[in-house]
Structures are given as structure tokens and as C-alpha cells.
Amino acid sequence: MNGNGQLVVFLEQLLNGITVGSFYALVALGYTMVYGVLSMINFAHGDIFMVGAYIGFFTINRLTDVGLTASNPTLAIILTFLTGSLGAAVVGVTVERIAYRPLRKATRLASLISAIGASIFLEELVRLIPTIATAIINIKIGGAAILAPQTRQAILKIVGDMGGAMVKTYPGILSNDGFVIGGLFVSYSRILIVLISAVIMVVLYTLVRITKLGKAMRAVAEDKDTASLMGINVNQVITRTFFIGSALAGLAGVMVGMFYLQIKPTMGFVPGIKAFTSAVLGGIGNIPGAMIGGYVLGLAEVISILFLPAVYKDVVAFVILILVLIFKPTGILGSATSQKKM
């Protein structure tokens, strides 16, 4: 291989790293925002990401049923992103309400364990939805089924899109095409992913910096009690933080579905851990830190492939986590005080 070829491979790997990094960064933002306001690790966040992917999958299949995916794919993609992230946001807020809020005054360990419980609950719920639905619609009253067989079939088909143990496949709505620039092949779908993520992150950063909600979030992060005395509705701010963080995770979930096609109930676990690593790497509680952490981790993983066998990708990610925790627990952008300022 000549020098130019090596350069192209290197650039290609950079591009791969940025794509993967975008996913990590989007999910990492949710971890870091929640840590910022509550000083807790929301371990159910990876599963919120998975729920977003499933809601998006459900939406896009219904849009395909009514013919919108064929007639206006752009609108279908936008609608899928919207429902996926909104749905995930609602689930995220609900989890906060049920699993975290009652424990806010308890020890930190209690809410951590509650988060792990919420994570397992969401994963199993998605896995069992079709089983539960089948059991319900097959209930017989007085020996006769309540629903006609055709109705049952139709319901099962729709419910089947909501979960189940099997892998689900998104319709291939993004094209595999792309363009070649200096020997480097760049697919359109990749550009779309990177661009959407970048735009979202800039919007989020601006939101936290200049809007009233952002100010309130930073105030709550700094000191909940004082913020409350200043007339800030702390519970509302926390709910909104969960809403935004979960919406980002849901968006990332839909993106993963569209880009990689396959989704499954366990898909949230590894990205969740990687995003957590990104958040810690960037300095947990720090929003630009989470973005930088995501990209650094994504790049580190793909660059490692130039030197190490591909199976060591995850090893590299977690070695980085351990090293950061040992040598700079506050992360790249974190410092002892800015940790809680967002």
C-alpha cells in the first residue's frame, strides 16, 4: 500500500470515529445533564435510547403502511425522528417520576439501584410486549374469544412492532450511496447523522447558555435549595432536564435504527456504558465535556483498529475509562468546582 492509500484509510477511520462519536455524544449528554442537576447516574438512560429506537421503528412502519415512506421519505424520516425522541422523552420523564423522585431524599445508593431496576424493567418490558399482548387478546369469556380472528391478527401485527425477543429490522430508508472525494468514499447517510448530531448539540448548548430554562438548570445544578428560594420550581426543572436528555437519547436510538438497521431489546446496554464512559471522560456534569468525550471515545475506538485487532475495540474504550478514573477523575473539561455547573 502506498502512502496515499494509508492516508485515505486514516481519513476514513476518522470519519467512522466521528459517526460513532456522534451517537456516544448524544447519549452522553443525557447522562451528564442528569448528573448535573441531580448528581446521580441514570443507568436506565441506555434503555431510554433503546425505547426511542423501538418507537421510531413502530412509527416508520405505520408511515410505510399509509404509503408516506414511499411518497415523501423526507417527511417520513422527520416524523420518525420526532416521535422517537418525544416518545423516549415521555418515558424518561415517567421513569424519573416513578423511580427517582420518591428517592431524592434517600441515600445516593438507593437511586442508583432504582436506576438499575428501571433499566432491567424497560428492557424486559420491550422484550415481553408481544407476549403480554397475545395473552391479553386471547382471553376468552364464557368460552368465546372477545375479538374476531382477523382483528386479533391485525393487533398482533402492530404490537409485534413494539418489541419482542427477536431482532427487528428498520426499512432501509437511508440510501447506501455516497460520493468519492480524493479516494475517500463518503455516504450521504453518514453525513446526515453527523450533521443532525452537530446541529442538535449546538442548539442544546445555546439553550443551556442563554435561555431562562438553561439558567434555571444551571442554578439547580449549583444548589437546589438556594435555587428553590430564588423562585425556581426545582421539580419542573428536573423534569425538563430528563425530558431533554431522554429526547436526545431517543433521537440517537432512531438514528442507530436507520443507520445500522437492526434493533433489539438489549441494544441499549453497550452504547449506554460507552456513553457513560464518554460523559466521565469529558467531565461528568459538563455539557461540552460530554460532546468532546463522545467524539474522543469514538475516535479512540476506530484508531485503535489501526494498531490492534478489532476485537480489542471495547477493551480500548474501557481502559480509557479506568485510566481517566485513576488519573483525572474530573475528566477532560471537568474541574472540582465546574463539575456541578453544567
- Find the shortest distance in angstroms from Cβ 5 to other proteins: 6
262 lines the binding site for other proteins (CB under 8 A): yes
Among 44, 256, 292, 317, binds other proteins (CB under 8 A): 256
Cell of residue 185, nine digits = 468514499
318 lines the binding site for other proteins (CB under 8 A): no
- Find the shortest distance in angstroms from Cβ 264 to other proteins: 6
Contacts of 194 (CB under 8 A, 6+ apart): 18, 19, 22
Contact 77, 153 (CB under 8 A): no
Contact 206, 250 (CB under 8 A): no
270 lines the binding site for other proteins (CB under 8 A): yes
Among 229, 310, 326, 336, binds other proteins (CB under 8 A): 310
Q: Kindly indicate which of the ranges 131-139, 155-163, 215-223, 305-313 contains the residues binding other proteins, using the contact rule CB under 8 A.
A: 305-313
How far, in Å, CA of 99 to CA of 40, rounded?
A: 13
Q: Largest Cα–Cα distance of the chain, in whole Å?
A: 78
User: Following CA atoms 56, 177, 301, 314 in sequence, which dihedral angle do they give, to the nearest 10 degrees?
Assistant: 50
167 lines the binding site for other proteins (CB under 8 A): yes
Task: Identify which of residues 66 and 166 has a Cβ nearer to other proteins in the complex.
Answer: 166
Q: 187 has which bridge partners?
A: 178
What element of type H or E holds 75?
helix 73-95
Q: Kindly indicate which of the ranges 81-89, 239-247, 253-261, 279-287 contains the residues binding other proteins, using the contact rule CB under 8 A.
A: 253-261
Contact 188, 174 (CB under 8 A): yes
Query: Is residue 103 exposed (0-12), middle (13-18) or buried (19+ Cβ within 10 Å)?
Result: middle
160 lines the binding site for other proteins (CB under 8 A): no
Cell of residue 6, nine digits = 494509508
Among 236, 260, 322, 325, binds other proteins (CB under 8 A): 260
Q: Kindly indicate which of the ranges 68-76, 181-189, 223-231, 233-241 contains the residues binding other proteins, using the contact rule CB under 8 A.
A: 181-189
Binding site for other proteins (CB under 8 A): 1, 5-6, 8-9, 12-13, 16-17, 19-20, 127, 165-167, 169-172, 176, 178, 180, 185, 187, 189-190, 256, 260-262, 264, 266-267, 270, 301-302, 305-306, 309-311, 313-314
